[in-house]
C-alpha cells in the first residue's frame, strides 16, 4: 500500500500488537493518518481472530496495516521482535499488565535497546494500583466505572451501553497518548512509555451524572433517555408516526423555537414553562406535551421542522439506515467494500480529517502473517533461506516462507 508523502504521519513506523478492539482501533487511526503500521500476531492469531480467520471487526479495525506473525514463546521470535522494535518509532499493545515484561520484551527492555521508542500500553485498570491484575473487558469496565449504574430506567436493573464504548474510548486515548509522546520526542529526541487505563477514560464522560451526585447523592442515577443531570426538559426520545425522534432544548431560545414549530407559540411566554427548572419540575407533563405533537408527524417531517425552526432534533435510526447514510458516504467516512471472505460490507474510514488531504482509501486487513516474510526482509535484511529456517524452527507464524 502507498501512503501519500503529505499524510500527517507519513514515515512513522508502528508495531501494533493490539487485539480485539482497543489496541487495533488505535493502530487503525495511526494507519489512516499515514503511519506504516505492522500488525504483529501470535501464530494462532490475536484474540479477535481466535474463532474465525475473518470477521467484520477485524476488517473494520485492521485495514491499511501489514501483518506478521511471530512466536513470542520462541527465543528467536522474541529476538526478531526486539530487532524490529529498534527500527520502529512506536510499539502499542493491550495485553494484560506484565505479560510483555515476563516475555523479556516489555517497555524497559525495548526502551533500553531503542531510547527513541514510544511504548504505548492500554489495559483495563492500568499497570499499577490495587486493581491492575483484574481481568477487564468492555462489559466489566462499564460495570466498575459506574457507567452501567447510570444506564437504563430507575425502576429496572442497570444495563450496559450497546456499543463497546470503554474499548473505543481506550483506543482513542491511547492514540492521544502516543501523539503527545511523539511531540515530546520531537523536542527531546527521547521516547518514553505511555499508558491508558479504560477505567480512567470512563470517568470524564459522566460529568452530568457526577454533577447531580455531588449536589444530591440521593438523586436517581438512571434516568432512561432523560438528561442525566435531571435539569433539562424537554430532553428525551419521543414517539413519531414512524418510529422515534430525540428532542432536546438547551438554550432559552430552543424552547420558544420548539413550541412555535408545534403551533403553540403562547407556551413560550407561559410562566409554567419559563425555564429549565420550571419545566424540569413538571417533566412528565412537558414530555407528554411534546410527544402529543411528535406522534402526529413522521421523523422526516419533524427533522424538517427542527431545521426550519432551529432546535435540536434527530431521528432514532436503525443500523440499516446508518450504514446507508448518504451523508456519511459522501464524507468518505463509510464506504461499501467487497470483502473476499465476508461479502459486501460497509467499512469506516478514520473520523480524523486533515484539511487538504482526502481520506486515505481503505485497504483490506492483512491475513494472519501475510507480510511476515517481506517485513523481515525489508527491515532486518533477512533472505529467503533464513526466513524459511525461522519458519521451520517455530519462531514465525502463518504465511512466513515467501521472501524476495
Residues annotated as catalytic (active site), given as ranges: 167
The CA distance from 110 to 106, in Å, is 6
For residue 385, with 0-12 CB atoms within 10 Å meaning exposed, 13-18 middle and 19 or more buried, which class applies? exposed
Of 168, 149, 166, 147, the C-alpha closest to 157 is: 149
Helices 372-380, 384-393: inter-axial angle, 10-degree rounding: 120
Helix (H, G, I), strand (E, B) or coil at 21: coil
Grid cell of 251 as nine digits? 438554550
The CA distance from 176 to 112, in Å, is 24
The CA distance from 95 to 27, in Å, is 14
SS3 content of the chain, % helix, strand, coil (to 5): 40, 15, 45
Rounded CA Rg of the chain: 25
Q: Indicate the length of the chain as a whole number.
A: 404
The CA distance from 27 to 171, in Å, is 8
* Sequential DSSP letters for 287-315: HHHHHHHHTTS-HHHHHHHHHHHT--EEE
Amino acid at each position: 500500500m502507498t501512503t501519500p508523502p503529505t499524510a500527517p504521519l507519513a514515515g512513522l513506523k508502528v508495531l501494533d500488537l493490539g487485539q480485539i478492539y482497543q489496541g487495533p482501533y488505535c493502530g487503525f487511526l495511526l494507519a489512516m493518518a499515514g503511519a506504516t503500521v505492522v500488525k504483529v500476531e501470535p501464530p494462532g492469531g490475536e484474540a479477535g481472530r481466535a474463532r474465525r480467520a475473518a470477521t467484520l471487526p477485524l476488517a473494520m479495525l485492521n485495514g491499511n496495516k501489514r501483518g506478521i506473525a511471530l512466536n513470542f514463546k520462541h527465543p528467536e521470535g522474541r529476538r526478531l521482535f526486539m530487532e524490529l522494535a529498534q527500527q520502529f518509532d512506536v510499539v502499542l499493545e493491550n495485553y494484560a499488565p506484565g505479560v510483555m515484561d515476563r516475555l523479556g520484551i516489555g517497555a524497559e527492555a525495548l526502551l533500553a535497546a531503542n531510547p527513541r521508542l514510544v511504548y504505548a500500553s492500554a489495559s483495563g485498570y492500568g499497570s499499577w494500583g490495587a486493581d491492575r491484575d483484574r481481568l477487564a473487558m468492555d462489559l466489566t469496565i462499564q460495570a466498575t466505572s459506574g457507567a452501567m449504574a447510570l444506564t437504563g430506567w430507575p425502576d429496572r436493573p442497570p444495563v450496559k451501553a450497546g456499543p463497546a464504548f470503554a474499548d473505543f474510548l481506550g483506543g482513542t486515548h491511547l492514540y492521544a497518548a502516543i501523539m503527545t509522546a511523539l511531540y515530546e520526542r520531537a523536542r527531546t529526541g527521547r521516547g518514553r512509555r505511555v499508558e491508558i487505563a479504560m477505567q480512567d477514560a470512563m470517568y470524564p464522560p459522566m460529568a452530568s451524572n457526577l454533577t447531580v451526585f455531588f449536589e444530591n447523592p440521593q438523586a436517581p442515577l438512571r434516568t432512561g433517555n432523560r438528561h442525566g443531570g435531571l435539569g433539562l426538559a424537554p430532553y428525551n426520545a419521543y414517539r413519531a408516526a414512524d418510529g422515534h425522534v430525540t428532542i432536546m432544548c438547551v438554550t432559552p431560545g430552543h424552547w420558544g423555537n420548539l413550541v412555535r414549530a408545534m403551533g403553540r407559540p403562547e407556551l413560550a411566554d407561559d410562566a409554567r414553562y419559563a425555564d429549565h427548572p420550571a419545566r424540569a419540575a413538571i417533566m412528565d407533563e412537558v414530555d407528554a406535551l411534546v410527544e402529543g405533537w411528535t406522534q402526529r408527524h413522521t421523523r422526516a417531517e419533524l427533522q424538517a421542522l427542527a431545521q426550519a425552526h432551529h432546535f435540536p432534533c434527530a431521528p432514532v435510526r436503525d443500523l440499516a439506515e446508518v450504514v446507508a447514510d448518504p451523508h456519511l458516504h459522501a464524507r468518505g467516512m463509510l464506504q461499501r467494500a467487497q470483502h473476499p471472505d465476508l461479502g459486501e460490507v460497509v467499512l469506516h474510514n478514520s473520523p480524523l480529517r486533515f484539511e487538504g488531504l482526502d481520506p486515505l482509501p481503505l485497504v483490506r486487513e492483512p491475513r494472519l502473517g501475510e507480510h511476515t516474510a517481506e517485513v523481515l526482509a525489508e527491515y532486518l535484511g533477512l533472505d529467503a533461506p533464513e526466513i524459511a529456517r525461522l519458519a521451520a524452527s517455530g519462531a514465525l507464524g502463518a504465511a512466513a516462507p515467501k521472501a524476495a
